[in-house]
Structure 1
Amino acid sequence: MRVWCFIKNVLITLFWFLFEGVMLHFVYVNAAAFHPLEFLQNLESWAFYGFGYAMGQHFHIKYVVIYGLSTSLSSFENVMVPHLPRCIGRIHLYSDMWKYFDAGLYKFLVKHIYIPIVKLTSLKLLASMATFGFVYIWHGTATYILIWCILNYIGIVLEQTCSPLLSVKKSEGIKFFLDWPRRMRCFFGAVLLAVSAISNFYFFGGKNIGDLFFRRLFADNLPNTIILLFILYCGAQVSTELCPVHARKCDNNPIKMKY
């Protein structure tokens, strides 16, 4: 049984490795940071946004392949390891991105930086700032890394601040009105998701690529912006629906391959 699980996990990892190789023959996401910006500037809005989504999926699959090999060997040796990165297409909150994309890094940051500072000072904002300060130094003290960390810190703070304001007890009102807090959370999450995507584009492609996406988001025409926010809102609804199921599966079987 253990050998079969090992072979299955390796085959899954090999599939995503080959899939990524084929994808890079058609969508040159790695070359975006080294190509003249006119290439991206001349793309119409939906090709431009699609290219950004492809950048995110490329980054996700790369981590699935790298972590897939190590977790396959670890699971074969009965070593408990964090679950593989969750697909970015099913994450819309900053907190979930940090919690479920790189679970090992998240547990390290929480255990060795965030919790000790909270116990010492009781200041969660300070603990979060120190945590992202470590992330900034760990990933390299470049300008685009600093922008990425600042946007993530602001997003986490806004998310944690606004979440209680959008919650409601199940005993209040009828079901129609009970659904509105979720709709409001998803709408708020859609806005945060747009900013989160831009922050990740800084991380994926550097400052010039991030600046280009930032300008396009706020300079695009109103109909495109409304459609984009509606698509992100739908993604937030799907993410909200799948989040409890996926979290349960990861907790019950942390070494099982989930994408």
Structure 2
Amino acid sequence: MVKSIRKLAQTPTLWACSCHHPKYQDNGRCIITQGRYLMTSKSQPKLSPLPWTETLVYWVLSFGSHLYSFYQLHKFSKEHETGLEREFQLEKGLLKGFKRDPSDFEWSLWTQWAKKSLLWTLIGHGVISRLTGTFYPKLRLPALTIYGLLAASCMLGIKGVSVLLVHLGVSFSVAQLRKPTLSWTCNLLLLSTLYFQPLQEIQRGWYNTEEEYYMLLFSIAVCGLRFISFSLEHCWSPLERGGLVQLFWLFSYTFYHPFFYNGPIVTYKAYTEQMRRSAEERNRDEPALSYLVLRSGRIILWWCMAEFMIHVMYMHSIQSNETYIEILPPWALGGLALALVQFFYVKYLVLFGLPSMLATLDELVPPKLPRCVSIMYSFTGMWRHFDEGLYRWLIRYIYVPMGGSQHGPVYKVVSTGLAFGFVCLWHGGHDYLQYWALMNWAGVLVENGLKSLFATSCVQSIVEQNLSMAMQRRCTALLSAFSTAMLILSNLVFLGGIHVGRIFWKRVFVQGWSTIAPPMLAFLYCFAQIGLEWTSHPT
């Protein structure tokens, strides 16, 4: 998302969406929050177990291919280290004998701000939450709200927070009219100010560095999702209590410090319900200290893993130069693709891990952390399990209100398209994001179409008569290998731009259709089998 934020000043975007809300309730409980309303119409069928020797082969080939491709990429990185250092200014590494690739702007931005102030303000949030929760429980929520507002003011400055307060006030006022379409229009117009050139120049003048300005853009973008959530919840089911109480809850929801800058995304309904729970109703089974120590250890391990990757593989610098991608050996080319998506995954384990840990200590229920991308074998699985908070947000506020899967295939196609369209526009609406969104939309539709086809009684009876359960699973993995290949390609477009996706497509599927593509699909088949094994035994 940061790379998209950096381009906001150059690319105007037209935001357009609408929403109306039929009341989706099941005995007073929202069916969306129960996880029954998904972009896919059916849950995964029960999979047949494979012989343990066969599963072991898949594990060995999957793990081995990762290590070998990473080694080849590391070897290429060291061979071209001088050129990469001259062109991309590699930094002095934390590890002796290694340089550090600083080309991933998002990682560099957040690590810099973490050292500067963000880590300390997050620790301060945890201390205040624990002290007030122990000694002054009734003051805990007001104290956290005030602290979040002060922390945001220190980070963004008074002028930056004033912009957010204006957005909050306008969104709150329009929500009182209880017209979903008007609320959508208002909030999308507020988000579109991110692209207004004269306003951008004014806001840039408030800060000494571009990084400080980007933090403001991040905050406006993420808070925009919160304002939409509050507005629609109020339109659909008018919130109880008076206007001042509603305004306080909106302040608390907006400036909750762990989630303020980057998420993960939690809906207004979930946030208020969880915060209102009494102390007796909260889960106190796990000691807070042991949870804090174990989760902190995991976050430090993830951070070390991310730093290790950018010390031994200069994948972000390599992807920025088309010449390097063109001359990469086949195994190193595969290593580049795997390294880019794996680093993105580990990075968000860190970026979501610390806020989620603090939220859990506050006895909220944050979205689950991203699932490993190496066991993702479908577009639908990637959207459902990588950023679960954003996925739930899209389902609740776009997919379901626009018809979802309950009103026939046409509504399903349109609803899914609008969800992907919104994500594209929210990230910036640039050309590479449009390709990425279209690829994901097409991938989800194709996967759902195939599931519907194989679920028909005619096809199902043919499959059951001619294929054993184990062979059905192998066929599923084979189809998933092709889906995974397109999923990786779409992620490369998102992470590296159109030029990276174009070169990979040319080298793998055009020039290497008989040499590179077959072994790649074979290894992706192994990845898919591991993913199927993992999802068939959920933890």
In structure 1, distance between residues paired with 2:464 and 2:472? 11
Cα offset for 1:178? Answer: 2.6
AA paired with 1:104? G
In structure 1, distance between residues paired with 2:350 and 2:493? 22
Contact 1:95–1:156 (8 Å) recurs in 2: yes
In structure 2, distance between residues paired with 1:142 and 1:172? 46
Contact 1:92–1:235 (8 Å) recurs in 2: yes
Runs of 5+ consecutive residues of structure 1 not aligned to the other structure:
250-259
Matches within 5 A, 1:87-126: 87-118=372-403, 122=408, 123-126=411-414
Contact 2:353–2:369 (8 Å) recurs in 1: yes
In the superposition, the TM-score normalised over structure 2's length comes to 0.44
Residue 230 of structure 1 is matched in structure 2 by 522
Matches within 5 A, 1:56-75: 56-75=341-360
Q: Are 1:151 and 2:439 counterparts?
A: yes
Q: Which has the higher helix share?
A: 1
AA paired with 1:136? C
Q: Are 1:137 and 2:428 counterparts?
A: no
AA paired with 2:450? C
In structure 1, distance between residues paired with 2:478 and 2:536? 19
Contact 1:166–1:185 (8 Å) recurs in 2: no
Residue 474 of structure 2 is matched in structure 1 by 183
Contact 1:91–1:97 (8 Å) recurs in 2: yes
SS at match of 2:399: helix
Runs of 5+ consecutive residues of structure 2 not aligned to the other structure:
1-286
Cα offset for 1:244? Answer: 3.1
Q: Deviations over 1:104-160 (max 9, x none)?
A: 000000111001111696510010111111011011111110110000000000000
Q: Deviations over 1:27-49 (max 9, x none)?
A: 11222343x21111101111101
AA paired with 1:21? E
In structure 1, distance between residues paired with 2:291 and 2:354? 13
Equivalent residue for 2:491, pick from 175, 190, 200? 200
Residue 217 of structure 1 is matched in structure 2 by 508
Larger Rg: 2
Cα offset for 1:173? Answer: 4.1
AA paired with 2:315? V
Residue 369 of structure 2 is matched in structure 1 by 84
Contact 2:337–2:492 (8 Å) recurs in 1: yes
Residue 278 of structure 2 is matched in structure 1 by none
Contact 2:319–2:325 (8 Å) recurs in 1: no
Q: Are 1:162 and 2:447 counterparts?
A: no
Q: Are 1:6 and 2:292 counterparts?
A: yes
Q: How many residues align?
A: 244
SS at match of 1:25: helix
Give RMSD over aligned pairs: 1.9
Contact 2:299–2:353 (8 Å) recurs in 1: yes
In structure 1, distance between residues paired with 2:291 and 2:349? 17
Contact 2:432–2:494 (8 Å) recurs in 1: yes
